[in-house]
Structure 1
């Protein structure tokens, strides 16, 4: 039997590079959408409630990598929440969209809201071995959530 197309032996390096590129593209989509949502939330007056934000921004669409959702449906899951700042509101929305880490074993850089802020501030450079949401990364105790 001939090997003329019957078997495919991909170049592992090329496959890895493609996977990294796809992940980078998905991450950029998520970061762009969350940045847009953060800008909108920055325009609101605080303190405020999830209901007030839903009235103002509920019809806005969020285009994530695998789905499109309205901010209204996100706020429906945040019943009776009160936010003292845009950072608190943005973090709650981000956790609803990506899922909150249950513990250190589930920690995921993609969930770290502070990493988005720090990446923008640092031009996308992150110190090796630490993450902004990791208390070890910020000895002052502020995990990067300031506005």
Structure 2
């Protein structure tokens, strides 16, 4: 048995994780996520905050408005509803969106010291 990675299996796994994440995002965002899907894109975080600012997100431990989430995403531009939903999901869960957020130049030792 070889320890070499199987690209097909890895892609299949990545697609499955993406699908699961999309379902979780939809469940968590509920009606707010559906509303974001109806918006015209590209759009900025400021535009989305103004349009959906009072839309409530009923989170497991609190209730927050979609506007307050977009207020934390200052100067962001979203090309699609999926990008906007992923940004909101990442902001409220604290989870990174993916490898595009990885920064190999970040000094982790410095973070440990602070």
TM over 0.5: yes
**Which residue of structure 2 aligns with residue 94 of structure 1?**
89
Gaps of 5+ in 1: 1-28, 105-147
Question: Which of residues 46, 59, 66 is equivalent to 2:61?
Answer: 66
Larger radius of gyration: 1
Question: Which of residues 32, 36, 39 is equivalent to 1:37?
Answer: 32
* Ranges of 4+ aligned residues in structure 1 off by more than 6 Å: none
The TM-score, its normalising length taken from structure 2, stands at 0.59
The TM-score, its normalising length taken from structure 1, stands at 0.47
Query: Which structure has more RCO (C-alpha within 8 Å, separation ≥ 6)?
Result: 2
If each structure's helix is expressed as a fraction of its own residues, which one has the higher value?
Answer: 2
For residues 84 and 66 of structure 1, the distance between their equivalents in structure 2, rounded to whole angstroms, comes to: 30
Cα 1:58–1:102 change in 2 (3 A) is closer
CA RMSD of aligned residues (A): 2.6
Gaps of 5+ in 2: 1-23, 100-114
